């Protein structure tokens, strides 16, 4: 009986950088068979993986083709709905070039309902520090501002669990990649923390005494020794509680743990999925069993 009660109250959460098709170029992944990089085949494999993960909450990064277009007929929004999920998508901004991917939050429609939402544009850090663009501004301040204009975004939702009214701020984000810009990534992480806390505090006002939990999933492009991880894990707590897997991104030139799920107090970790052994992954990802260069991070959690 206790096991059944726990199963009924637990929530399965996943964060997964699915590798945008626009970046899935055979020239960039020469170790991957070309047939696996074709859009239809790879999309089918990503969808198969998502269904196997069987999550109640999904934070997805590098998703392109959310709505069908001339360039991409992926139709992620409708596919998610067909499989029982409602979703919300925030495409990357386009200050530096024409980004075509973004961050998605998806929730099992029978379990959660959307209450509110927010967009984060990390370019705002540069604007707040140095003002808006001036085409004639060639000063050092202009160059300093440009350093922060990386078109990264965050997707924040406030969800209500249907069965008991529990509220959760659930976010998906993708921080900047370049190791030479650790300060930019840290500024992005601090903005994410501040905005999630602000969103939670505003939700508490209308929560009628109920707690408001926070769950953040994302590709943080930062290893567990980084200042980004330190800041995030100080404000919240990783589902692995400091015992992070050796890797979540696996290629011949780069293998590291850079994807995480962070939780506020009042959210308990029941179990965390183990990552596959490195020697089972061949030269690198993507491969037959893993359609992205990243691995998903998945956990079963419960709310107090």
| Three-class DSSP labels, 86-112 | EEEEEECCCCCCCCCCEEEEEEECCCE
Structure tokens at 52: 């196997």
pLDDT digits (tens, 9 = 90+) for 219-257: 999 999 999 999 999 999 999 998 999 999 999 999 999
> CB under 8 Å to 22, separation ≥6 — which residues?
64, 72, 100, 101
Q: How many CB atoms are closer than 10 A to CB 6?
A: 12
H helix runs in the chain, sequence order: 2-9, 34-37, 39-53, 76-82, 123-130, 140-148, 182-205, 227-235
Task: Tell me the C-alpha distance between 239 and 269, whole Å.
Answer: 6
Q: What is the tens place of the pLDDT at every residue in 56-98?
A: 999 999 999 998 776 777 799 999 999 999 999 999 999 888 8
Strand-pair category, 102-108 with 85-91: antiparallel
Q: Name which CATH class applies to 2-303.
A: alpha beta
Q: What is the DSSP string of 5-32?
A: HHHHH-EEEEEEE---GGG--TTT-TTS
Q: In this predicted structure, which of 51-65, 119-133, 248-262 has the lowest mean pLDDT? A: 119-133
Task: Tell me how many helices (H) and strands (E) the chain has.
Answer: 8, 14
Residue ranges covered by each domain of the chain: 2-303
76 or 7: which leads in pLDDT: 76
pLDDT score of 138: 60
- Determine if the pTM surpasses 0.85: yes
3-class state of residue 139 by DSSP: coil
- 280 phi and psi angles, rounded to 5 deg: -95, -5
Q: Nearest Cα to 281, choosing from 93, 32, 78, 63?
A: 32
Does the pLDDT at position 4 exceed 60? no
**How far is the C-alpha of 196 from the C-alpha of 186, rounded, in Å?**
15
Angle at 27 between CA 24 and CA 29, to 5 degrees: 60
Please name which of 155, 137, 134 lies closest in space to residue 89, comparing C-alpha atoms: 155
pLDDT at 1 over 70: no
Q: How confident is the model at residue 5 (pLDDT cuts 50, 70, 90)?
A: very low
Compute the distance between CA of residue 56 and CA of residue 68 in angstroms, rounded to an integer: 24
Tell me: pLDDT of 6 over 50.
Answer: no
């Amino acid at each position: 009986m206790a096991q059944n009660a726990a199963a009924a109250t637990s929530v399965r959460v996943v964060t997964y950088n699915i590798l945008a098709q626009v970046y899935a170029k055979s020239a960039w992944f020469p170790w991957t068979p070309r047939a696996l990089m074709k859009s239809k085949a790879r999309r089918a494999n990503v969808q198969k993986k998502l269904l196997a993960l069987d999550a109640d909450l999904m934070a997805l990064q590098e998703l392109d083709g959310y709505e069908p277009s001339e360039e991409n007929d992926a139709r992620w929004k409708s596919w998610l709905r067909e499989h029982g999920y409602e979703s919300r998508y925030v495409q990357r901004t386009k200050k530096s070039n024409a980004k075509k991917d973004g961050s998605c939050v998806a929730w099992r429609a029978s379990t959660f309902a959307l209450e509110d939402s927010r967009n984060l544009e990390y370019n705002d850090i540069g604007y707040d520090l140095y003002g808006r663009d001036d085409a004639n501004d060639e000063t050092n301040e202009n160059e300093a501002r440009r350093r922060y204009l990386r078109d990264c975004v965050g997707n924040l939702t406030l969800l209500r669990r249907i069965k008991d009214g529990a509220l959760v701020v659930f976010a998906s984000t993708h921080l900047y990649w370049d190791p030479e810009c650790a300060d930019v990534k840290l500024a992005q992480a601090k903005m994410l923390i501040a905005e999630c806390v602000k969103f939670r505090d505003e939700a508490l006002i209308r929560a009628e005494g109920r707690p408001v939990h926070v769950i953040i999933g994302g590709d943080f492009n930062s290893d567990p020794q980084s200042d980004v991880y330190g800041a995030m894990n100080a404000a919240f707590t990783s589902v692995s509680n400091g015992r992070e897997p050796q890797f979540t991104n696996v290629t011949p030139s780069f293998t590291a743990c850079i994807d995480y799920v962070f939780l506020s107090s009042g959210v308990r970790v029941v179990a965390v999925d183990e990552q596959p052994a490195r020697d089972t992954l061949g030269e690198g990802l993507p491969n037959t069993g893993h359609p992205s260069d990243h691995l998903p991070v998945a956990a079963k959690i419960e709310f107090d």
